[in-house]
C-alpha cells in the first residue's frame, strides 16, 4: 500500500442558490442551515479547496482543525450572464437550449467555455499532484464544485464515463486511489470509493 496515494474529492454543502436550482459558478451563495452539521469520518494529510466561500466554509466544517490551501483554479465553471438564473428562466433562450445540447461547443454569454474550464481545472489538479508527489504525501482532500468533480472523475476514475454520467451529491465524497507512478504519469486511478458524510454526533 506504500506506493498508493488517496485523493478525496468533496463537493461543497448545499447553498441557498442550489435549493433554487440556479446556476452557481463564480458568484457565491451561503450554505443552507441544514448542511452545517455535516462532518467527515476520515482525515487526510493535506487539504485543498476552491477559493469560493461555499467551499471554504464546507472545508472548515468537514475538517474542523485542518489548514486548507486555496486554489482558484478549482472554481466551478463561470456561467457569465446566466449566473443565478434557473432553467425555467432560461428555457426559451435559443442560445441556452443549444448550450444544453452541446456545452462543449457553446459558451455562456460573458462566461467560460468548456475547454477553458477544463484547462483551468487541469492546471489546479497539476498544482495538487505536484505537491503531493514532491512532499511524498499519501493522502489529501479537495473541496470543490460539482462540475469540477464530474470532470476529474471523467478523466481519472477507473470506469470511463462521460462528464454528465457522474452523479455528484452534496452528502458524499469520492476517494480516488492511485498508484504513485500512475499519478505522476497522469493515468487513471485503480480504485474509486464513495465516502459518506455524517451528521455531527451520529455515526
In this predicted structure, the answer to whether residue 52 has a pLDDT above a threshold of 60 is yes
Q: What is the mean pLDDT of residues 58-87?
A: 95
Identify the pLDDT of residue 15: 93
Q: Which residues have a Cβ under 8 Å from the Cβ of 36 and sit 6 or more positions away?
A: 13, 61
Identify the pLDDT of residue 38: 83
**132-149 pLDDT, tens per residue?**
999 999 999 999 999 999
Residue for cell digits 481519472?
Answer: 156
Size (the chain), residues: 203
The pTM (predicted TM-score) of the whole model is 0.94
Residue for cell digits 472554481?
Answer: 75
Identify the pLDDT of residue 203: 42
3-state helix, strand, coil in the chain (%, to 5): 40, 20, 40
**102-118 pLDDT, tens per residue?**
988 899 999 999 999 99
Q: Which CATH architecture has domain 4-199?
A: 3-Layer(aba) Sandwich (3.40)
Identify the pLDDT of residue 201: 53
Could you give the CA distance from residue 199 to residue 203 in angstroms, rounded to a whole number?
Answer: 8
Identify the pLDDT of residue 7: 98
Amino acid at each position: 500500500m506504500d506506493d498508493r496515494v488517496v485523493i478525496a474529492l468533496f463537493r461543497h454543502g448545499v447553498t441557498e442558490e442550489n435549493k433554487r436550482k440556479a446556476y452557481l459558478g463564480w458568484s457565491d451563495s451561503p450554505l443552507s442551515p441544514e448542511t452545517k452539521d455535516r462532518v467527515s469520518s476520515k482525515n487526510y494529510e493535506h487539504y485543498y479547496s476552491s477559493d469560493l466561500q461555499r467551499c471554504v466554509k464546507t472545508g472548515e466544517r468537514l475538517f474542523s482543525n485542518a489548514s486548507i490551501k486555496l486554489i482558484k483554479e478549482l472554481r466551478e465553471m463561470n456561467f457569465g450572464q446566466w449566473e443565478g438564473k434557473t432553467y425555467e428562466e432560461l428555457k426559451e433562450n435559443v442560445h441556452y437550449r443549444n448550450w444544453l445540447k452541446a456545452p462543449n461547443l457553446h459558451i455562456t454569454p460573458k462566461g467560460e467555455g468548456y475547454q477553458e474550464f477544463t484547462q483551468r481545472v487541469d492546471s489546479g489538479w497539476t498544482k495538487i499532484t505536484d505537491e503531493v508527489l514532491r512532499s511524498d504525501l499519501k493522502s489529501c482532500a479537495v473541496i470543490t464544485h460539482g462540475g469540477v468533480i464530474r470532470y476529474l472523475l471523467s478523466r481519472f476514475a477507473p470506469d470511463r464515463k462521460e462528464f454528465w454520467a457522474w452523479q455528484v451529491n452534496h452528502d458524499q465524497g469520492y476517494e480516488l486511489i492511485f498508484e504513485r507512478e500512475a499519478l505522476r504519469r497522469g493515468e487513471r486511478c485503480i480504485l474509486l470509493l464513495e465516502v459518506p458524510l455524517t451528521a455531527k454526533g451520529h455515526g
